[in-house]
Amino acid sequence: MKYLPTITLTSPLLRALSDGQLKLQKGQWIKLWDDNGKPSRFVQVKPSGTIHAVHPNGAAGAGKVSNERFQTACRFW
């Protein structure tokens, strides 16, 4: 499965993702519809519908999502 270009998660897409109608693979770059910062990396959706992603660190998203932080989140969640 190929990664898509960064996906902007609007309200309908967030709902579809938490309901299981939309499937994303780990590592897919995502942004929230109202976020002008750097993208986050998708990790998973919990059975409760909670969406887990690794966000850029640093002031106002100036940092990056390091591969180490992403891999740690994948092991933790």
Q: Which two tokens stand for residue 8?
A: 């902007």
The whole-angstrom separation of Cα 62 and Cα 49 is 28
The stretches in the chain having pLDDT less than 50 are: 61
Q: Is 30 helix (H, G, I), strand (E, B) or coil?
A: strand
The 3 state secondary structure assigned to 47-69 is: CCCCEEEECCCCHHHCCCCCHHH
**pLDDT value of position 49:** 86
Helix/strand/coil for 39: coil
Unique residue bearing structure tokens 């299981």: 20
Which pLDDT value is given to residue 59? 54
Domain ranges across the chain: 7-76
